[in-house]
Amino acid sequence: MPAPAPPGVVVTRYDCHRGHGPYAGVAEFLAAVAADRPRLAARHRVELYAIAPWLDRAARPAAEEEPIRFHPARRTACLAYGAAELTAAWAGSLRAPVTVTFEHVANADETTAEFLDTLLKRLDPTSLNLNLKLKLELRDGGPAEPEPPGTPDAVRAALGDSLARGFYHHAARVAEHGRATVTPDGDLRQWWACTTGLATALAALDRADEALALYDEARAATTDPKINMSAAYATAMLYARHLSRADQDPEAARHWLERALQLAEGVTDQREAVVSTVFYEQGIALLDAKAGAADRALRLVEDGLARLAQVLGPGERPQHLARLLHNRAQVHLALGDPERALADLDTVISHDPGNSEYYVDRAALHRTAGRTQAAIKDYGTAIELGPHLPEAYYNRAVLNLERGRAERARADLEHALAIDPGHLDARIALVNAHLERGEPDPAERHTLAGLALAPAEPALLCTLGLIRSERGEPAEELFTQALAGDQGLVEAWTNRAAVRYERGEVGAAVADLDRAVALSSAPEPRYNRGTALARLGRWEEAARDFADALAQPGLDRALRRDLRTELARCHRALST
């Protein structure tokens, strides 16, 4: 029997069967944790409200928010990370042992399984996060799967809610169930709702080719103009964005957008006709911008804003206006006008202050303009709203590294990797941070962890080679493997040259340094090549390398001194 729960946590068994929906069992468990530790829960309210929306008393049902974009599928991994962080903190506050049992985990929804997997890793006995007061029991088996939603209204509500919340595996199951119960001839409205919902879910799950087939099926099944209009736009977006890079087709996307615009001309409600036309024209603007016709894209966006202002009242559909202004900001950037882009993003955020993407975009502009503190602030807001965006953590870490805030940067990099272990840029930055602090052992651990996920990553292979060469261990093959993956990796050429030089293969070292110098104007490769050339007695060439390196701006004092010493030695050799 499970141990008694502390005050506020009443239930210790949770049914995780996917028939109960996304986060089944998990949502109830986290709600109990939140009730037990409200102050702790307040720091995780974004993920709590996403997983257990009934905790947010001010929120409307997700499907009623009329989103103009959908969450990326990876958002659930961020939610899982935040929820596991909350659970671990709660476990650390327990005064007595607690056993929590999650039942039917073999039949859990993907969101539940993702959270439990993340939590188990967080509480792994080999980690420093283990808290022996919390014991998890995962059980399979039990009663049959609960009945799926039955009535058409219930199916559409469940489907709309799952899509709006970004729970695409569940949305696909609901949509497939709904499609199986109706035909286009019997209930066209229900069949189309389930078909387009399924296509949306599949596209989000990187199954865009299957979504494309569904829209072809819809066109074959009905001549209904509204359905064909929506299918045309959705097909265009699949060709423009969601298909694999090799299968994307801007011309096909433009064809289907033009078809959607033709059908929009037949919409009898003039107000809705304008909104639909403007919305579809943003797709044309996207294609124009990608094709290098940013001026034409800007005209389309500004014309759309003017027409929306004529048909929408003050404060109406703010997210639509925000999306157009965001588009215009991107076009201004393409035209080389970051100040106008920033002004648009300021307005975008005032229209839609809860969208983390906009803060990330504005932070990038602040960063480019040298407004580091403003950029850090915007990345922080994005992290609060995200939640737990690895890219925002990584970018904030880079800025903190530039400001000499190494501890803050390392904390952000570790956060980014805890959320997304495959974030190679964060992995490499953390490795370099350890190396700069003279910590080769943790640097090697992180390098090996990165190589376990990306065995051929050149930067990590090069770094591992550097660590091992400094220990006097064999490393040349690691540098050679790195260069096989990236011939432009200056550090690999330089470090392999150092290994060969130390082994007495000076000519081979010079050959590697020739490649490094051709790729980089930095002084170090020239200094190293000059040293190798001097050892070969090629004094004139060595002197030229040392002189070229000395001409580089921003040399530190020690390197400048060494270069002058070596250049003087060359001159003495040439004069004898």
Instruction: Please report the DSSP string for 488-534 in residue order.
Output: T-HHHHHHHHHHHHHTT-HHHHHHHHHHHHHH---HHHHHHHHHHHH
**Nearest one of 493, 495, 498 to 483, comparing CA atoms:** 493
Q: Tell me the pairing of strands 134-139 and 13-15.
A: unpaired
For the chain, the distance separating the N- and C-terminal CA atoms, rounded to the nearest angstrom, is 92
* Residue where the block lists tokens 């997997």: 117
Ranges of residues in the chain whose predicted pLDDT is under 50: 1-5, 8-10, 126-131
Residues contacting residue 241 through CB under 8 Å, at least 6 positions apart:
248
For the record, the structure tokens of 527 come out as 């200094």
Task: Decide if 528 contacts 494 (C-beta within 8 A).
Answer: yes
257, two tokens: 């957008």
Query: For the whole model, what pTM was predicted?
Result: 0.83
Q: Which residue has the tokens 């002058």?
A: 564
User: Which tokens belong to 494?
Assistant: 């330089």
Write 532-537 long-range contacts (CB < 8 A, 24+): 532/497, 532/501, 532/506, 534/566, 534/569, 534/570, 534/573, 535/501, 535/506, 536/506, 536/507, 536/510, 537/573
Name residue 365's beta-bridge partners: none
Closest CA to 199 of 217, 187, 181: 217
| CA-wise closest residue to 549 among 573, 565, 568, 525 | 525
pLDDT given for residue 64 in this prediction: 57
Q: What angle do CA 259, 260, 261 make, to 5 degrees?
A: 90
Are residues 278 and 310 in contact, defined by beta-carbon separation less than 8 angstroms?
no
In whole angstroms, give the CA distance from residue 340 to residue 35: 46
What is the structure's pLDDT at 202? 98
| DSSP string computed for 440-478 | HHHHHHHHHHHHHH-TT-HHHHHHHHHHHHHTT---HHH
Sign of the alpha-carbon dihedral angle for 395, 399, 400, 406: positive
Backbone angles phi, psi at 365, to 5 degrees: -65, -45
Kindly list the structural domains of the chain, giving each domain's residue range(s) and its CATH number in brackets, ordered by start.
Answer: 13-139 (no CATH), 371-442 (1.25.40.10)
Secondary structure (DSSP) of 345-412 = HHHHHHH-TT-HHHHHHHHHHHHHTT-HHHHHHHHHHHHHHTTS-HHHHHHHHHHHHHTT-HHHHHHH
> Each residue of 181-196: pLDDT tens digit?
999 999 999 999 999 9
- Sign of torsion over alpha carbons 31, 36, 39, 40: negative
Amino acid residing at 372: T
What percent of the chain is helix, strand and coil (3-state, nearest 5)?
70, 5, 25
Contact status, residue 301 vs residue 327, Cβ threshold 8 Å: yes
225 exposed, middle or buried (CB, 10 Å; 0-12, 13-18, 19+)? middle
Q: What are the structure tokens assigned to 336, written together?
A: 């080389």
Express each pLDDT in 527-565 by its tens digit.
Answer: 999 999 999 999 999 999 999 999 999 899 999 999 999
pLDDT for position 130 = 42
Q: Could you give the CA distance from residue 256 to residue 531 in angstroms, rounded to a whole number?
A: 63
Contacting residues for 350 by C-beta, under 8 A, at least 6 apart: none
* pLDDT of res. 66: 57
* Dist CA 350 CA 38 (whole Å): 30
- Helix/strand/coil for 37: coil
Do residues 156 and 168 touch, judged by C-beta distance below 8 A?
Answer: no
d(CA 249, CA 236): 9
* Residue 126, pLDDT score: 47
> Contact, 280 vs 260, CB < 8 A?
yes
Sequence-distant (≥ 6) Cβ neighbours of residue 52 within 8 angstroms: 23, 27, 28, 30, 31, 34
Element containing residue 422 per DSSP (H, E): none
Specify the DSSP class assigned to residue 90.
H
| Residue among 376, 417, 354, 380 at smallest CA distance from 46 | 354
CA of residue 469 relative to chain centroid, distance? 34
Asked if residue 532 lies in contact with residue 546, where contact means CB atoms within 8 angstroms, the answer is no
Supply the pLDDT for residue 146: 72
Question: Strand order of the sheet with strand 134-139?
Answer: 13-15, 98-103, 134-139
